Amino acid sequence: MKAPEVIWRPSDDFLENSNIARLVKKQGLAGYRELLDWSVEDSPRFWSAVMEDMGVEWYRPFDRVLDTSGGFPWAKWFVGGEINIVHNCIDRHLQGPKKDQTALIWEGDGGEVRRFTYAEMSAEVSKLAGAMRAMGIKPGDAAGIFMPMIPETVFAMFACFKVGAVAIPIFSGFGPEAVGERLAHAEARVVFTTDGGERRGKEIRVKPTLDEALNRETAVEKVVVYPRTGASVLMRAGRDVTWAEFTEGQSTTAETERLPAEARALILYTSGTTGRPKGTIHTHGGSIATIAKEVGYCMDYREGDVFFWVTDIGWMMGPWEFIGVQFYGGTYFIFDGAPNWPEPDRLWRMIAAHGITSFGVSPTAIRLFASAGEGWVKKHDLASLRILGSTGEPWDPESYMWYFEKVGGGRCPVMNISGGTELAGCLLQPYPIAELTPCSLGGPALGVDTDVFNEEGKPVKGEIGHLVCKQPVPSMTKGFLNEDERYIETYFSRWPEVWYHGDWARVDEDGQWYLFGRSDDTINVAGKRVGPAEVESALIAHPAVVEAATIGTPHPIKGEGLTCFVVLGGDYEPTDALREELKDEAVKYLGKSLRPEEVKFVEALPKTRSAKIVRGAIKRIYLGEDPERIDTSSIEVPEILLAIAKAL
């Protein structure tokens, strides 16, 4: 196979002045490849060295970097150390000139702009922290954040960290079932929310959605409502308070809790192939270690940069952006609105207006903007851009090159990173001192022992295999919340003591790495991962549906869309009206962004003899494969596949 063309080579500036170039020189290494090898040869040595290099501050230094006495799945990091994300991301920046530097710039759907310095952010975080302590929140208690991307969302997250509470960020577009399930599972005592939101000039539901979510049994004692839109919303006496009421009388200074490095900071929910969402657990020490490493060395954060990643608080990249940039005392931009409204140049206008230097976006978004034409990009001066980022899903070469050439002008490297919510970081990422080819992820992330295994568990090059990690990383989830067995089954049952990530990957002979989608049933819709069982559960909640199967199918903009096959019961007839009703049923749980593209009515679903739905076979039929060529030996009634083929 011919090696892909190198489209970007590092400039002298990156080779001489980047953070990673400095690290290479500091360690006396020859270059990028030697650095990658060094970072996994002795993992504790590497992590100790980079924590010092990045300037992480401890209340109490750790006694031991890594403890694997319980095995890889239960690795403990920075044992004996005491730390807090807030000390590293806010408090220490108040001691010098950074206190008056802008930490956060926000732009709303209607174009309004707000800015906060580190001192101003500290005051807002402290007032919230004081109010949380006043209501009895203690270290280890859970707090939900169901808010759009506004400054108060950031303040709420850091207030949780400050008092030692565990932040539960929830995507603001989720429906009530998904919100309620997460709050109940995490046993959240307090929830931060807004009266509503704005998108495309229209008000969206936030507090009413939360009210529906809280109709189920939860541990929520207090709901704190920020007046984003001024909409009239129901306020339940004794439970609901306004933001101003909650923080009234609180000091603009508050003590930051000293916490063990392994203390929980975040529970981020992610979807799996079966059952309910998984609560992944991330710590203060581990989150700082990995996120600061990635923003510093991969995204090459430098003094004066303005960082903008198009994301939401509910996705990993929201907390990643907040923690990573604030660790360095830098400036970042957040946006609450539709990226192509009121015109398709909204993002490009904001990049030019706010002097964005580091910009990250999903491949799905770029496909959307490319379809609008490059003329919208040319209207704006994007010369401030220095480095590009992307994550969430595999690229196609055409969209990647459009991003590289039209947005970055062919001069900005694309830091195409990939990891997951369960990692709060990356397995693969490029670095700006190495060459890039279209769609490449560069190679393993620093300190991450990544490999590609064949079906026999042997490392392979030049062929597609399973993406794995052979050593623990500080930010890896500490199991699943209340579900240790499920955690082991998901990541360590295929190859013991090896993390099985569930992605197809290939590394070529030149050492460039590429991804090819999920190797399990997880579906990736515009960078949002969802398990088929979640969609199927939502459909089965409708009285018409007896059984359902969901697969991911090609979509020109989103990469993958949801296609659902349903078996009807009773006297229900397969009609177009029912088809739309079932799509709406899924929206109630998953939100509009995960609305199914298609619903197909079938007489039955193919299953194994143990009654497991064979989604893989359904997908192959959908994609046009001849049913006669599919191995049906494990299917109890193979004729059902033929019936589905005819239905399509």
- Whether residue 315 contacts residue 298, with contact meaning beta carbons closer than 8 Å, is answered with no
pLDDT digits (tens, 9 = 90+) for 500-542: 998 889 999 889 999 877 777 778 888 787 878 778 878 988 9
Domain 89-257 fold: Rossmann fold (3.40.50)
Q: pLDDT tens for residues 554-607?
A: 998 888 999 999 999 888 999 999 999 999 999 988 888 899 999 999 988 887
Looking at residue 393, the DSSP 8-state letter turns out to be: S
Tokens (6 digits) for 303: 């003094």
Contacts with 278 (C-beta within 8 Å, 6 or more apart), sequence order: 269, 270, 271, 272, 422, 480, 481, 483, 486, 487, 490
pLDDT of residue 473 exceeding 50: yes
The Cα 167–Cα 314 span in angstroms is 11
**What confidence category does residue 632 fall into, taking pLDDT thresholds of 50, 70 and 90?**
low
pLDDT-based confidence at residue 636 (cuts at 50, 70, 90): low
> By C-alpha distance, which of 162, 167, 80 is closest to 121?
162
Asked whether the beta carbons of 374 and 407 are under 8 A apart, the reply is no
> Tokens in use for 35?
């650095």
* 371 three-class SS: helix
**Residues 158, 168: Cα–Cα separation, whole Å:** 12
pLDDT at position 3 is: 67
Task: List the domain boundaries for the chain.
Answer: 12-84+263-518, 89-257, 523-647
Q: Helix 43-54 to helix 284-293 angle, to the nearest 10 degrees?
A: 80
Structure-derived torsion over alpha carbons of residues 633, 638, 642, 643, reported in degrees to the nearest 10: -150
pLDDT for the residue 640? 86
Fold match, 12-84+263-518 / 523-647: no
Q: Report the mean per-residue pLDDT for the chain.
A: 93
Confidence tier at 423 by pLDDT (50, 70, 90): very high
Question: Is the pLDDT score of 610 beyond 70?
Answer: no
With beta carbons less than 8 A apart as the criterion, state whether 268 and 400 touch. no
SS3 541: coil
User: By percentage, how much of the chain surpasses pLDDT 90?
Assistant: 77
Q: Is 378 helix (H, G, I), strand (E, B) or coil?
A: helix
What span, in angstroms and rounded, lies between the C-alpha atoms of 563 and 553? 6
* Best mean pLDDT range from 2-6, 457-461, 545-549, 621-625: 457-461
Which among 426, 74, 485 is positioned nearest to 278, based on CA atoms?
485
Exposed e or buried b for every residue in 176-198, given b needs 16+ CB within 10 A? bbbbbbbbbbbebbbbbbbbbbb
Nearest residue to 376 via CA among 343, 409, 342: 343
What span, in angstroms and rounded, lies between the C-alpha atoms of 350 and 4? Answer: 33
- The whole-angstrom separation of Cα 279 and Cα 275 is 12
Least confident stretch, 39-48, 189-198, 400-409, 461-470 = 461-470
Query: What is the rounded distance in angstroms from the CA atom of residue 238 to the CA atom of residue 234?
Result: 12
- Does domain 523-647 fall under CATH 3.30.930.10? My reply is no
How do 306-309 and 358-361 pair as beta strands? Answer: parallel
CA atoms within 13 A on the CB side of 506: 12
For 73-127, how does the pLDDT look when each residue is reduced to its tens digit (9 = 90+)? 999 999 999 999 999 999 999 999 999 999 999 999 999 999 999 999 999 999 9
Left, alpha or beta for 78 (phi > 0: left; psi -120 to 50: alpha)?
left
- Give the model's confidence band at 365: pLDDT under 50 very low, under 70 low, under 90 confident, else very high: confident
The pLDDT value recorded for residue 1 is: 47
- Say if residue 609's pLDDT is above 60: no
Q: For residue 634, what pLDDT is reported?
A: 54
pTM for the whole thing?
0.85
Provide mean pLDDT across the span 149-163.
98
What angle do helix axes 19-26 and 43-54 make, rounded to 10 degrees?
A: 120
Residue 274 banded pLDDT, cuts 50, 70, 90 = very low
Q: Which two tokens stand for residue 200?
A: 């495309």
* One-character DSSP codes across 208-269: HHHHHHTTS-----EEEEE-SS-------TTTEEEHHHHHTT--S--PPPPEETTSEEEEEE
Residue 608: its H or E element? none
Architecture of the domain made up of 12-84+263-518: 3-Layer(aba) Sandwich (3.40)
